Each structure stands twice: as C-alpha cells, then as structure tokens.
Structure 1
Amino acid sequence: MSSNIDLLTHLRHWLHAHPELSRHEGETARHLRGFLIEHAPPDAIIPLQGAGFAAVYNGRAADKTVLFRCELDALPIHEINTGIAYSSVYDGVGHKCGHDGHMAIMAGLALCLANRPDRGRVVLLFQPDEETGTGARSCVQHQNFAQIEPDYVFALHNLPGFPAGAVICKTGTFASEVKYAAIKMTGKEAHSAQPETGHSPAIALADLMLCAQQIQARYDRPDAYALAVPVYTQMGVQASGVAPAQGEVHFTVRAALAATVQQMWQDLRDHATTLAEQYGLNVTFETREDFAATTNGQAGFDMIQQAAVVTGRPFQKLDQPFRWGEDFGELTKRYEGAMFGLGAGQSQPALHNPDYDFPDEILPDGIEMFRALVAIVTA
C-alpha cells in the first residue's frame, strides 16, 4: 500500500501543479486517462461531456453498479503556497477546493480495482465543470451515460476544520441549493450636472442590494438558513460628467431547500421589476449557475456510516447542511446514494483560501471508504 500511496501522492502533486479551470480540463483528463491505462486498465472508458469520462471495472460476477464521482476543475484563485515544490505553474489558477486530492483518491480506488471486484460493476466518473454547477448535469444528460445507469452513486468532499480522516454525513440536504444570477438595468445617459434629464440605475441598484438583506431575513431561520448575497456590481463609465445608463448586480441565493431559493429569487425579481418601473428603466434577468441541492438518501447514508465502522474511522452526523453548493445533487436526485465529508484537519486553511493545500495524509482514508462502499453495495 505504501508504494501505491507514493505513486498517488506524486499524481496529486502533478495535478496540483497543473490546475485547469472549468470547461478547460483537457490536459487533466488526458493525464488521468494515461495514469489509469498504465496502472489500472479499465474494461472501458466512456467519453462524456467536455473533458468528462467514466472508467468502468466489471466484477467477476454480475451484480449492482456503483458509481463514484470526482471533479477535474480548479479555481480562479492565485496560489500563495510558495513553500511547496508542486505549487501551481499557472498564475491566477489553483486547486483551492482540493479536487486534486479527490482525483488522487479516485485513482487509488482504480488501483484497488485493477484485479477486478468479486461482484458488480464499479464506475469511476471523472467529472468536469463542478465549480460552475454544470458538469454533473451535462454528464448525466450525455447520450453515453445510458451505458452506465448506476444503482448507487457516491462522492466525498474534503472538509477543513474537521479531524483528519473523520467521516461526516447526514440524511436529507448535505450541500445547499444555490442560484447565481444577474439583474441588469438599462436607462438613458445624462450629464451628471443634469441627472434628471436621463434615467440612471444607480438608486434602483442600491435599493435592490439593500432589499436582499430584507429578503434574507424573511426566510432565514435557526433551523433552516437562507442567504441572499450581492457578489458583484458594475455601473456606468469612469467619467465625471456622465450619469450612467447601465448597471448590474449579481447575487448568490442559497438555502437547504430548492423551494426557498426559488421564492427568494422571485422576490428579488419582483422588487427589481417594481424599481425599474419607478425609475424608468428596462430590467433583464440572467441565471448564470444553478446547483441542485445534494440530498442524501437514507440507504446511501446508512452505507456510508457502515463503511466508516468497517474501516474504523470516526463518524460524525451533521445537524445542518453545508452552505456551499455541490453539483453532485444532479446525481443524487436521479439515483440512490449520498455524499460524505472527509475531515482534512482542524488547523487547515478553509476551502477556496489561497493557501489551501489538500493534505496527502488523508488519501488512504478516502480510498478505504470507497473500497468499503464497493463491498457493501455488492455484498
């Protein structure tokens, strides 16, 4: 096992040093396919959307199909970990969500499957575009996914702030429903000395951002949180004499339940429409990203808890879902299964921080959890 971990650590470091953004993961996918073909040749490699692909390992006897998913993409965050030999070679791009570690864990599972499982079929989904919320959806909607049709689906996500190697899970919503959307307003330019002769979106956009706080307060509760957060705004040109005609504000709206997100977004749309009428503006709405809530079924949760017991790893049941979005929800709303968290260490920097680096010491924990789930599903 130690030689395999050395091999997987080297793979993880290469992936960390060569991060690729969503929809641009071609070299990452090629490197992983090459690793599998050399070290754990699958029975089939199924091309999916974009850089996505699935590696299939058929058991010696027919049984259920279990799918495991990892993500290929990195983030537009500049790495500040200058003290590591494998820091990102690309300015402004880094594996700051730990997807390099998730890929290495999946490759480790492939090494365990090289001699084939006793029963069933194991599918390893190397999925692109997770950070945009589009990758899982595009993969399951791809015509080739009909060759897979899993009985169970599983994924993990590393979790800084939890003990290294601990397993964290819950039934119901594990990761939140998230909508990222833009509201754009257009009026008429005017001289800034005579703003009344035009139609500026300035006051309407300011009002809309303040209204987001009121909408959030309307739905946020101790037992079911809700957030409506302005994340970007742009208006006008850099000229002292021009009162602007155009502006936009972007929001992320998130909650444990899809219905809550939909209602908050509708409230924002309604208020924006009212403001546009009041200030003589045109208004348009654009949804940029949608993350379906990752909802864990009872059977999937039970299997994860059983795998933690079998592998001797501490198990923690969550009371509340995580606030971040995860597009694995596109799989859990179609198939039985669940996602779990894998503790990355209590002193680790948080996800999406510029100094985050996936801890190599938890690679065996993820691999052993996935191996145990294969055995449980096909028992």
Structure 2
Amino acid sequence: MLTNLDLVELTAFRRLLHRFPEVAGEEVETARRIVGALEALSPSKILTGLGGHGVAAVFDSGVAGPTVLFRAELDALPIEEKNSKIDYASEVDGKSHVCGHDGHMTMVLALGRLIARQPVAKGRVVLMFQPAEEDGSGAKAVVADPAFQEIAPDWAFAIHLEPGRPFGFVSTAPGLINCASLGLKISFAGKTAHAADPEDGVSPARAIAELIPALEALGTGGALDAAFRLVTLTHVQIGAPSFGIAPGDGVIFATLRSTHDAGLEGIEAGARALADAAAEKYGLTVDFEIEDHFAASINAPEAYEVAAKALDRLEIAHSGAGVPMRASEDFGVFGWGAKAAMLCLGPGEGYAALHNPDYDFPDDIIPMGTAIFEQIARDLLGTA
C-alpha cells in the first residue's frame, strides 16, 4: 500500500511532468526524469532508448515465471493548455498533458515502489514507459526494437483514465476495446493557371468535389460490430487563398476507422482506388501518405479474466459499459505477442473530456490505479 509520503511525492512528480510536456518523438527530458525516478527503486535492469525514447524497468525475482508488463505513455499533445484552476500548468507553449499520460506514468512508477519493497515470488515485472502513443508509432517502434526481446512479456496491462465514468469505475471487457484507425493524406497535383483562363491549367477542384462524398460513403459509422466502418474528413484544401490563380494542387486528410485491422485495410484500399480514379478522370497525379496508424486494441479473454478477478478482489466496480470505443490506442500492439488487457478507469461524472484544453489528471485516482496494477502482479507472480 502506498504511504501518505508516497502520495505526496508521487503527486509532486506527476505535476512536474505536467509542467514540462513533450510531444511524440521529443520525450527526451520526460524519459530522463522517469529514469531518475526508477533508479531510486533499484530495479534489476533499466533499458533506455526503446523505440525512440522509451524506458523500461525490470524487476526480476530470479525464479522462473512469466513476464508481466505494465505500460504507460511518455508523450503529451500539441494543445495549448487553458486551465486557470491549477498552479502547475504547462510551461511549454502549445503543448500539454491533456490526455492523462502524466498520471499514467505516475501510477506505473507507484507500482514500482510497491514491487521494490515487496518483490514478486516468481517471474518478472516490467514497467514500460513507451514513446509516441499519440501518433500510433510508439508501441510498434518499441516492439520492433531488438532490445525489447530481452523483456518480451507473456502478459501486458494498461490503464487509461476515461472521462464519462463514475469515479473508480472500470470499463473493460474481453475482445475489442479501441478501434483500428489511420490518417490517409491524399495529394493531387495538376497545373495552375490565371483565374481568367482556367482552361490553361489542370485544377483538382472537381476531383476533390466528387471524392469527398465518395470517401464518406466508404464508412458511415453505426454499431461497433464487425461491419463498422467510418471515414471522417478532417482537412480539405485546394490551391492558395488567392482570387487570381486557378488552383493546381489539392489535398484531403481522411481518418479511416474500423473495428479490426483487416477492415481498415479494406477501407484504405477503397479510398486509394477512388482517388486514383478521380486523378485519371481529371488528368491529375495523386500521392498518398499514411500517418497516425493505430492497430485495433483487443483484450485477450485470459488477460481480461485476470484483470476482472483483481478488480473483484479490490471490490472495484466494473463492467463492459462504455467499451468498445471508436477512439484508437496503440496499446493493442503489445497484444500481438502477449495476452493483453486495457482497463478504462473513471475519474468521476462531469469531468473534463480528454484532449480538452482544461483537462487535468485527478491525483486522487493514483492509489486506485496503482492498487489495480499491484493486484494483477501479485495474482500472477505472488509475493516473495
């Protein structure tokens, strides 16, 4: 159990992280602070530079047994914080921890304190602080890093604070938790012309006008079942903001979403075919770029059962209410090689939504999140 001194120190550390956010791929100082906090716990090993700036601490019992990984995220968001209620707001212009990753890191560090004091009886506990969750690249980079093979887990667990749920209530279930998604950038190139003589150029205007409804028709939402598809247009631009130039280029950003990875591949193939056809019809060239690519996050039934039993032992209310979600989370990648489960922990009704400029992680939920992690670790690995 965490002491009052633990909670004071962990809260101060969480607020320090909050003041100095770093976005995906830039988490140098955040990783350094995490390493410093981990070194004080004397783990068996600390790995750095995983998949970029990722950090992992290993607590090895020295007795054969499974490896259990608990994940947190290092990165913040490119959002200007607007929260006059706190005195530890972001000191970095245009960046902030408004998705709760500062709190997630703190809960995993808190687990490290408990494991350091009372080691597990068998196997290994791995505290994983992964980079670049917000753009979907971090977990893939970590798992692909050769050094990750040293700590490849048999089990993996994560907690994400999710507003819209009562304080301390956990939403989780076997199967899908977060949808697969990707950002598809479609760029058309033609030829500019004088606005008085548009026929001298090759404009993408008609191609984009036809493509917009065609893309949206590929996925219109609906129930989160195997047939779910959603295409959301997030940005459209044709030419430059000028009255004298007929446009010669254009771009569409579309977010594609499905309940499974194969479905996402199908939507992408459909979108590319539509764009290729439009380009050919209007004499344009077309290029594609993929960004923010997230695999579906799926709870293995065995990992869900472990988590559910831990919640029951702690008398924490839980159900499948609120999951699965349309939103994406790259934790699912850890489930490619391990039995994994994501738990969505409620901060209380009426709490600010994630990615809002006034969001802040509630420090009073730290003990509960830590207790859930510890119970899972003890259930799987025992206590020495």
The two structures have a TM-score, normalised by structure 1, of: 0.96
Partner SS for 1:20: coil
**Pairs within 5 Å for 1:1-379:** 1-38=3-40, 40-47=41-48, 48-59=50-61, 61-115=63-117, 116-217=119-220, 220-221=222-223, 223=225, 224-318=227-321, 320-379=323-382
Question: Aligned AA for 1:372?
Answer: Q
Q: Distance in 1 between matches of 2:233 and 2:310?
A: 40
Shift of 1:276: 0.8
CA contact (8 A) 1:20 1:73 kept: yes
User: Identity of paired residues, percent?
Assistant: 39
1:106 and 1:124 in contact (8 A); partners too: yes
Q: CA RMSD in A?
A: 1.4
Q: Report the Cα offset of residue 60 of structure 1.
A: 5.6
What secondary structure is seen at the aligned counterpart in 2 of 1:61? coil
CA distance in 2, matches of 1:319, 1:241: 51
- Cα distance in 1 for partners of 2:322, 2:28 equals 38
Find the aligned partners of 2:59 and 2:21 in 1 and give their Cα distance. Answer: 27
Letter in 2 for 1:44: K
The 8 Å contact of residues 120 and 381 in structure 2, kept in 1 or not, is answered as no
Secondary structure at the aligned position of 1:285 is classed as strand
- Deviations along 1:92-142, whole A, 9 cap, x unmatched? 101011000000001100110113222221000110000111111111111
For residues 330-365 of structure 1, give each alpha carbon's deviation from its aligned partner in whole angstroms, at most 9, with x where no partner exists. Answer: 111221121111111111111111111111111011
Q: Distance in 1 between matches of 2:98 and 2:6?
A: 24
Per the TM alignment, residue 318 of structure 1 is displaced from its structure 2 partner at its CA by: 3.7
Q: In structure 2, list runs of 5 or more residues that go unmatched.
A: none
Moved more, 100-109 or 331-340: 331-340
The C-alpha deviation readout for 1:68-106, integer Å capped at 9, x for no partner, is 110000000000012211100011101011000000001
Q: Residues 170 and 319 of structure 1 are in contact (CA less than 8 Å); yes or no, is this contact kept in structure 2? A: no
The Cα shift of 1:293 comes to: 0.5
Contact 1:295 1:333 in 2 (8 A): no
Distance in 2, matches of 1:344 and 1:225, equals 29
The 1-side partners of 2:174 and 2:71 are apart by 19
Q: Please list the CA deviations of residues 182-224 of structure 1 after superposition, one character each: whole Å capped at 9, or x if unmatched.
A: 000001111112212211111211222222221113x744645
Distance 1:54 1:149 in 2: 11
> Once superposed, which parts of structure 1, at least 4 consecutive aligned residues long, lie more than 3 Å away?
219-225
Alpha-carbon distance between aligned partners in 2 of 1:222 and 1:330, rounded to the nearest angstrom: 20
How far apart are the structure 1 equivalents of 2:19 and 2:32?
Answer: 15
Cα shift at 1:235? 2.4
Judging changes above 3 Å, is the alpha-carbon distance between structure 1 residues 69 and 320 closer, same or farther for their aligned structure 2 residues? closer
Deviations 1:256-300 (A, max 9, x none): 112222222222111111111111100111111210101111000
Gaps of 5+ in 1: none
Give the secondary-structure state (helix, strand or coil) at the position aligned to 1:164: coil
Counterpart residue type for residue 119 of structure 1: K
For the residues of structure 1 that align with 2:323 and 2:12, how far apart are their CA atoms?
36
